Amino acid sequence: MRREVLRMERVCCLEQGVMQLHDFNLSIMAGEIVGLLPVNSSGLTTLLKLLQSNTPLRDGYVYYMEKQINTWRDSKKYGNRHGRIQSESCLVNGLTVADNIFVLRPGFKTWLMRPRIFKEQLALFLEGIGISIASDAYIEELTGFERIVVDVIKSVMSGRRLIVLRDIGADINESELKKIHLLLRHYIKEGISFLYIDYHFEALRKICDKVALMSNGRIIKLLEGEFLTQESLNAYAGSYVVGTRQEKHQYETTKKKHSSSFFVDNMSSHLVKELSFSISSGECVVIQNADLQVYGEVLSIMSGKAVPESGQLLLDGKPVSFEMGGDTAVIHEQPSKTMLFGELSYLDNLCFLLDKRLPEIWLDSRLREGIRREYEEILGADVFDGRINALSEAQKYDLVYSRIALQKPKVVFCAQPFRGADMELRMRILELMLTLLDKGIALVILTVNLVDSLSLANSLIRVYRDKPQEVYSRNEFSTMPILRYSAH
């Protein structure tokens, strides 16, 4: 009989007077992979904190390894032995793989470091999973995939019986994600359990024994066995799925041809060799990078922070100028955190890039007032008088994309636009991107993981390190097994 690793029973949890978890129930058995699909992110941060450090409960009980560790009567003031792995790694840069796995683990008390023994021990772990990573490699030298592998091994060697995985597919490609799944299957045979949190149902269905749907701080449905299907998901989150199809149809039927064009001509740099593609106004191209180093290099060039070693970037036949507020714009990863200024007003944030197109914007209050009236009809009047930090995530994204639309660039480069977004926010981002496309703006999406991006793309370009690129047209997406669920 399998042992129960985690049970949360009727858990209610308050934070700053707001109920974040309400009647939350979840059970995980030894050697089981349970998926958690947040329809929205409400309560997710509270859940992760609760698993990590026994925050006080308003009601309910939490059991770990069949022992009660938290109740509404009494909250234990110590951390739990749960591993937590996410796209932003918790490994320490400047130290080697062996240092992170062996030296930094709880309970390590040896004063004399023995690198040879560390290397031999790590080799035994890696031999069982068929993955090769040098024990003396520094963490900053590892790929995103290798960091996740090291994180998992570290958690296992630290005696963690439950490991929480959150959004690990953000910085790895499809083939690497398959290897991670093989790694998880290897450890569930040893009785290790995983709580796999992801915003994409297809990614969870491929590996999980069951998937719990979470909305507004509670589990609304548990899908398992014959009910672990897309049809069952649609019954509880159908509005999001249908919305995607409607937006896709709207995009394909209303997109217009425009004369402006962006052309990358035989561009080469340290890692990327002979990249070429073109895109017209109102079109979308997705550039998938083989790993984070390639992604970072391509993003630096496309945003004007670096110059390619050879080749050129042309806009309407002329070399591209990456001047701020000009014909190009960049929407960075998680722009609600990286592209807004909390000390400025909502209107000032909206008009931030307009001084090149409208030099009098900061001197003419009537002009700014006219912009406010125009965008109040789109964004709502109430947001203009509040603080930036008080806006919801959706409202912050609305502000960022409206700023770009107001700038009227010819090409916009979007860096991993769906990273960290729940189902509701992803649908909102798709709507905002479609608005840019309808205005005749060309979109270049730079990403590592393809999920969501292909729903807008006219073409896909897969860029590898020191290897020729691969180009696919839209009608080829559904015919390729590795792309099929991403395109859907």
DSSP 8-state symbol, 39: S
Q: Can you give the pLDDT at residue 429?
A: 93
Mean pLDDT of 74-88: 67
> Pick the residue with more confidence: 180 or 257?
180
> Pick the residue with more confidence: 443 or 260?
443
Mean pLDDT of 119-130: 69
Q: Can you give the pLDDT at residue 243?
A: 45
Q: Can you give the pLDDT at residue 292?
A: 74
- Pick the closest to residue 279 from 440, 477, 444 (CA basis): 444
Q: Can you give the pLDDT at residue 131?
A: 77
Q: Can you give the pLDDT at residue 18?
A: 87
Q: Using one digit for the tens of pLDDT, what is the confidence trace for 338-376? A: 999 999 999 999 999 888 888 888 888 899 999 999 999
Pairing of strands 318-319, 310-315: antiparallel
Q: Can you give the pLDDT at residue 80?
A: 67
Question: Is the confidence at residue 11, as pLDDT, over 90?
Answer: yes
How far is residue 60's CA from residue 6's CA, in Å, rounded to a whole number?
A: 14
Q: Can you give the pLDDT at residue 329?
A: 93
Mean pLDDT of 140-166: 86
Question: In this predicted structure, which of 405-414, 431-440, 460-469 has the lowest mean pLDDT?
Answer: 460-469
Q: Can you give the pLDDT at residue 154?
A: 85
Q: How far is CA 31 from CA 68, 123, 195, 316, in A?
A: 20, 24, 11, 57
**Model pTM?**
0.79
Q: Using one digit for the tens of pLDDT, what is the confidence trace for 14-70? A: 888 889 999 999 999 999 999 999 988 889 999 998 888 888 899 999 999 888 888
Share of the chain above pLDDT 70, in %: 84
Question: Is the confidence at residue 445, as pLDDT, over 90?
Answer: yes
DSSP 8-state symbol, 307: -
Question: Is the confidence at residue 135, as pLDDT, over 80?
Answer: no
Say if residue 79 is exposed, middle or buried (CB neighbours under 10 Å; 0-12, 13-18, 19+).
Answer: exposed
- Residues near 171 by Cβ (< 8 Å), separated by ≥ 6? 87, 144, 292, 448, 449
Q: Can you give the pLDDT at residue 147?
A: 87
Mean pLDDT of 166-171: 83
User: Considering the chain, what is the average pLDDT of its residues?
Assistant: 83
Question: In this predicted structure, which of 215-224, 245-254, 324-333 has the lowest mean pLDDT?
Answer: 245-254
Mean pLDDT of 114-129: 67
Q: Using one digit for the tens of pLDDT, what is the confidence trace for 230-270? A: 777 777 665 444 444 444 444 444 444 446 789 999 998 88
Instruction: Please give the single-letter amino acid code of residue 450.
Output: L
Report the phi/psi class of residue 205: left, alpha or beta, with left for phi > 0 and alpha for psi in -120 to 50: alpha
Backbone torsions φ then ψ of 118, nearest 5 degrees: -60, -45
Question: Is the confidence at residue 276, as pLDDT, over 80?
Answer: yes
